[in-house]
C-alpha cells in the first residue's frame, strides 16, 4: 500500500536540520576563510571566496527565477529573499516557509519545498563539495602543527551538508507515491514504517561517502592534479553514460 506522508513533523524536522547544517557550513567557511588570510594562504582564501561568490550568484538567480512570475509583491519578495541570501539566512527562511506549511504563490516557479531543494543542490555543487576538497588539500599540505581544529570542524560540516542534501533528494523521490507508481523497480526502498531511521542511516552513509570521495580527490590533487582531472572526467563520464542508457534525460 502506498502511503502519502503529509509535510508534518518529518518534513519540518528535516527543513530545520537542513537549514542549521547549511548555515553552519557557511559560518565555518567564513571562519576558515579568515584564517587563510591571517596565515598568508591567500591562494586558498581566494579559491574559497570564489566558491562562496558562485553560490550566492546562483542563489540570487534562483530567487529571480522564483519571483519573476509572481502576480503580487514581486519586488518585495525578491528583495527579501535576495537580502536573506546575501546575509546567509536564506536556508532558515526556506525552512520556516516549509515548516509553516506555506503554499506555492501564484506565479511562483517552485513550491517552497522544491525551492529549498534546488537551493540546497546549488550550494552543494558550488560550495560544499568544492570547499570540502579545497580544505582537505589545505590540511594535507600543511604541517601537522599548523592544522587547526577549526579547519577539521569545517570539513566535517561540509561533508554533513553534502550528505544531508543527497539524502533529502533521494528520500523525497523514493517516498513520493507518484514515483513509486510510475517506476516501482527503482523507487520504494524506504518502508512506510521507520522512515526516520532509514533517513538517519542514509544520511550517515552519504556523509561518510562524501568525506571519502573528497579525501580521494584531495589526495589525487596533492599527488598529481592531472590524475584528479582524469578521475573526475571518468567518474562523470560513467555517470552520464548510465543516465543516457536509462533514458533519464528524455523521460
* Domain chopping of the chain, boundaries: 9-245
Tell me the whole-structure pTM to 2 decimals. Answer: 0.79
Report the alpha-carbon distance of residue 211 to residue 179 in Å, rounded. Answer: 30
CB 129 within 8 A of CB 207: no
Where do runs of H (alpha helix) occur along 68-194?
74-86, 90-99, 112-123, 129-141, 149-174, 177-182
CB half-sphere exposure, 162, CA atoms < 13 A? 26
**Selection from 119, 104, 107 nearest residue 7 by Cα:** 104
| Average pLDDT per consecutive 10 residues, the chain (251 residues; last block may be shorter) | 48 73 83 88 92 92 92 89 86 77 83 84 87 91 76 88 85 79 84 86 92 93 92 90 80 55
Q: Which residues neighbour 89 within 8 Å (Cβ) at sequence distance 6 or greater? A: 23
Q: Which residues neighbour 169 within 8 Å (Cβ) at sequence distance 6 or greater? A: 117, 121
Q: Which residues neighbour 186 within 8 Å (Cβ) at sequence distance 6 or greater? A: 179
The pLDDT of residue 1 is 37
The pLDDT of residue 10 is 66
The pLDDT of residue 250 is 64
The pLDDT of residue 251 is 55
- Helix then strand count (H, E) for the chain reads 10, 0
CB 197 within 8 A of CB 153: no
Amino acid at each position: 500500500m502506498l502511503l502519502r506522508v503529509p509535510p508534518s513533523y518529518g518534513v519540518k524536522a528535516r527543513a530545520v536540520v537542513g537549514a542549521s547544517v547549511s548555515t553552519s557550513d557557511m559560518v565555518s567557511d567564513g571562519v576558515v576563510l579568515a584564517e587563510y588570510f591571517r596565515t598568508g594562504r591567500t591562494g586558498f582564501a581566494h579559491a574559497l571566496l570564489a566558491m562562496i561568490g558562485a553560490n550566492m550568484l546562483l542563489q540570487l538567480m534562483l530567487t529571480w527565477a522564483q519571483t519573476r512570475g509572481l502576480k503580487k509583491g514581486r519586488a518585495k519578495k525578491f528583495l527579501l529573499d535576495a537580502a536573506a541570501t546575501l546575509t546567509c539566512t536564506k536556508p532558515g527562511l526556506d525552512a520556516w516557509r516549509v515548516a509553516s506549511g506555506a503554499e506555492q504563490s501564484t506565479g511562483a516557479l517552485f513550491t517552497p519545498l522544491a525551492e529549498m531543494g534546488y537551493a540546497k543542490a546549488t550550494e552543494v555543487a558550488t560550495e560544499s563539495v568544492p570547499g570540502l576538497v579545497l580544505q582537505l588539500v589545505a590540511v594535507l599540505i600543511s604541517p601537522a602543527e599548523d592544522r587547526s581544529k577549526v579547519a577539521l570542524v569545517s570539513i566535517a560540516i561540509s561533508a554533513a551538508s553534502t550528505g544531508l542534501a543527497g539524502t533529502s533528494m533521494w528520500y523525497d523521490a523514493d517516498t513520493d507515491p507518484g514515483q513509486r507508481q510510475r517506476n516501482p523497480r527503482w523507487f520504494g526502498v524506504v518502508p512506510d514504517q521507520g522512515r526516520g531511521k532509514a533517513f538517519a542511516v542514509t544520511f550517515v552513509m552519504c556523509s561518510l561517502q562524501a568525506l571519502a570521495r573528497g579525501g580521494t580527490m584531495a589526495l589525487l590533487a596533492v599527488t598529481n592534479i592531472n590524475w584528479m582531472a582524469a578521475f573526475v572526467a571518468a567518474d562523470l563520464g560513467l555517470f552520464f553514460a548510465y543516465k543516457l542508457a536509462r533514458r533519464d534525460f528524455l523521460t
